[in-house]
Structure 1
Amino acid sequence: MTSPKITVNGDRLWQSLMDLAEIGAYDDERTGLRGVNRLALTDADAAGRRRVVAWMKEAGLAVRIDQMGNIYGRREGTDPTAAPVLTGSHIDSVATAGAFDGCLGVLGGIEVVRTLNERGITTRRPIEVGIFTEEEGVRFGTDMLGSAVAAGRLTPEYAHALTDRDGHTLGGELIRTGFAGPTDVRLAPPHAYVECHIEQGPVLAENDVPVGVVTGVQGISWQEITIHGRAAHAGTTPTHLRADAGLAAAQIIVHLRSLVDSGAYGDLRATVGHLIVHPDLTNIVPARAEMTVDLRNPDDAQMARAEEALAAFLRDLENSRPGLSLTTRRMAKTAYVPFDDSVQKVIAQAADDHALEHISLLSGAGHDAQEIAALCPTAMIFVRGEYDGISHNPREYSTPEACAHGVDVLATALLRLADQD
């Protein structure tokens, strides 16, 4: 017998989102809006974690923290031997965030538990709500870090040794903030994992539907390129005698766009999100440039071809410019991850039962779900965003109704998965 559909308290969910958004809040000069800056394991992130842990405990969840600072709140089922159904996301942010990215999945999971409690609904399997550490990868340079270690793709030793730009290690910051937990970080395989997240794109709005059933996550490649040139006087050094690191960085950016525009590498996307030159003075030719390259592709073979094309260009650039040398460092690499068909069907049926139109779509952004997919059947629910789905920006916005619809689907899907044999 199929478990019934359930509807959450949308007003309470919205209030939780707005309350959490006040932790790490700042006034954004560019947009004139209130934004969120809650980088992983900063004081703001620690304060946000403490607030959410308090909400978990108020909802009756038993809380545990692992050696990566991942947090899990557990609602027991009637069968103590059954593997749990896991949901969750992250609450760390980029430096210019809105209120929804990651947070909707965590707070939505807590709202599901509140609703089950209020209705006196028991489940066969336990339900757990997770908060994963450093999903964004902004501070320590590797995205989906907590979930990657929990799933076994990365080791805790590797993760703990990562440093931010000020030289602070992740392991040290876990201790400093009080989130170096005692629990083994390797996660026992759940029965299933469902993550609810804002879309962070325009597809749902373009199709005028409220819910997306996510089929998978495209491949992601991050690397850091350092260009070593030679500092020189801007007025006295002839152009042909310069080893200009800034010019080389510009040429790399232009070449990346040409790779995308060529169409030869499938649905490739390329972004240089960080670029800085040294000594960063008006009248000095840059001696060094540091930049990051973010490549995305839903086809692993096409991604590999694009990476090789970039590497070949870097070799040619170095060889053709006397005085230039380039080094690269891999920051992160994840392959295309398809999601489980059976979990997608549970999500789609839940949306149908709530009379919510939905479409299937691939995620362009990385999510903790792609890591947990290595452990158990996994899929995601996307919630429609406004303003072309803009994200990583204070203009990021999903309506209270859209958030409630997405978590209604999450609640019904979790209930049905938690009642499976």
Structure 2
Amino acid sequence: MTGPTPDTITVNGHRLWQSLMDLAEIGAYDDERTGLRGVDRLALTDADAAGRRQVIAWMEQAGLRVRIDRMGNIYGRREGTDPTAAPVLTGSHIDSVATAGAFDGCLGVLGGIEVVRILDERGISTRRPVEIGVFTEEEGVRFGTDMLGSAVAAGRLSPEYAHALTDRDGRTLGGELIRTGFHGPADVHLDPPYAYVECHIEQGPVLAENDVQVGVVTGVQGISWQEITIHGRAAHAGTTPTHLRADAGLAAARIGVHLRSMVDSGAYGELRATVGHLAVHPDLTNIVPARAELTVDLRNPDDARMARAEEDLTAFLRTLEDGTPGLTLATRRMAKTAYIPFDERLQKVIAQAADDHGLEHISLLSGAGHDAQEIAALCPTAMVFVRGEYDGISHNPREYSTPEACAHGVNVLATTLLRLATQRPS
């Protein structure tokens, strides 16, 4: 490279957008509810494996050296001029929920690849290596634990625990890694990077409400996932008096109502509670349910108030069991992460990059979980949020960020990564 290193770089927005649209065709389906084209690419399904192979091909075309670890996490590395320097890491995930759009996670991965392409085209070398990570099962919808690949990479969960997790058909994650060819040889424990910066769609309405393009993320609120199984007694809907029933479906409904009352009470701060999955058995019109299964998703930026909410929910479950003869309840912890604050210095680097690109920005807390919250245990970490349309809807085929919004976010990512990768040790 000749001349000084450029301080602010702009990516090829058209190429970035084309990559997003091309990846969205892998696992695509026609959504009957919305009439739109959606994405169904659950972790380690055939569709996810095809998406991974496409991303690896793009990484290799961009000159990256690719490695895959024993969790199926994929890393593409662009070397720096200092072989002893820790890398600057970016990335996200490409697995999806069953009713996804084209942007969740994918923008961070493909945005990272686009940054490398621009660095190469501009002839820019960096002192530190730049790496792009693709983490396994971020969504958690198939194997029941979100941020799974990054949690193992960061050391919070063991590979043995993760490999033994099963989906609803009894398939293990370890077995699916082998089946799809993504049980890699590399050590799953990630050496601490110099920094990690993730670009992601907001998945909410705050940026649009404030009419700004970029969010500087201050941290991720705490998340608690539980599965509750209720055992009652099947009974004839017409012949069994109400007071003699042990109705598992009614108990499940009462849990949902109680969660809403907890939120509305204000006693738990900014608590959010969701019953995302609910199923009753035998699921017949004229039979009182003998069993019900539901999931409870709690979110809170205050760990103490989250703990109190969990304790109070547990107490309510005991009252249900004690108050209805023949009713028993069992709970299973699916996932639990604490509130994670992001690095203030990195937030300032991101904000300065947005300023230098002429983009208005605000600081905001993430309500969704991200791989960044796991990698934060290893190194300074922060995130760039990209504005979404339609109230920022996500996990839905209506999920949409404009080509301009995606380019704005990745421009900020590119400049941030460049500045971090050329920094000298303090």
Separation in 1, partners of 2:218, 2:227 = 29
Q: 2:18 aligns with which of 15, 30, 40?
A: 15
Amino acid at match of 2:408: H
2:9 corresponds to: 6
Residue segments in structure 1 that go unaligned for 5+ positions in a row: none
1:88 corresponds to: 91
Amino acid at match of 1:97: A
Q: 1:103 aligns with which of 80, 103, 106?
A: 106
Separation in 2, partners of 1:142, 1:412 = 33
2:220 corresponds to: 217
- Contact 2:82/2:127, CA 8 A, preserved across alignment: yes
1:192 corresponds to: 195
Percent identical: 88
The within-5 A match list for 1:300-379 is: 300-379=303-382
Separation in 2, partners of 1:275, 1:396 = 24
CA RMSD of aligned residues (A): 0.7
1:207 aligned to 2:210?
Answer: yes
Separation in 2, partners of 1:3, 1:135 = 34
Separation in 2, partners of 1:77, 1:103 = 25
The within-5 A match list for 1:150-165 is: 150-165=153-168
- Contact 1:2/1:416, CA 8 A, preserved across alignment: no
Separation in 1, partners of 2:275, 2:319 = 20
1:61 corresponds to: 64
- 3-state SS of 2:351 partner: helix
Residue segments in structure 2 that go unaligned for 5+ positions in a row: none
Shift of 1:356: 0.3
The C-alpha deviation readout for 1:210-259, integer Å capped at 9, x for no partner, is 00000000000000000000000111100000000000000000000000
Separation in 1, partners of 2:222, 2:77 = 31
User: Structure 1 length normalisation: TM-score?
Assistant: 1.00
Shift of 1:170: 0.1
Separation in 1, partners of 2:418, 2:141 = 34
Shift of 1:420: 1.0
The C-alpha deviation readout for 1:297-316, integer Å capped at 9, x for no partner, is 00000000100110000001
1:285 corresponds to: 288
Amino acid at match of 1:31: T
Shift of 1:2: 8.4
User: Structure 2 length normalisation: TM-score?
Assistant: 0.98
Separation in 2, partners of 1:252, 1:310 = 9
The C-alpha deviation readout for 1:130-171, integer Å capped at 9, x for no partner, is 000000000000000000000000000000000000000000
1:138 aligned to 2:119?
Answer: no
- Contact 2:5/2:124, CA 8 A, preserved across alignment: no
The C-alpha deviation readout for 1:345-375, integer Å capped at 9, x for no partner, is 1100000000000000000000000000000
Q: What is the number of residues matched between the two proteins?
A: 421
Shift of 1:3: 5.2
1:267 corresponds to: 270
- Contact 1:3/1:419, CA 8 A, preserved across alignment: no
1:393 corresponds to: 396
Separation in 2, partners of 1:287, 1:304 = 31
The C-alpha deviation readout for 1:7-57, integer Å capped at 9, x for no partner, is 000000000000000000000000000000000000000000000000000
Shift of 1:324: 0.2
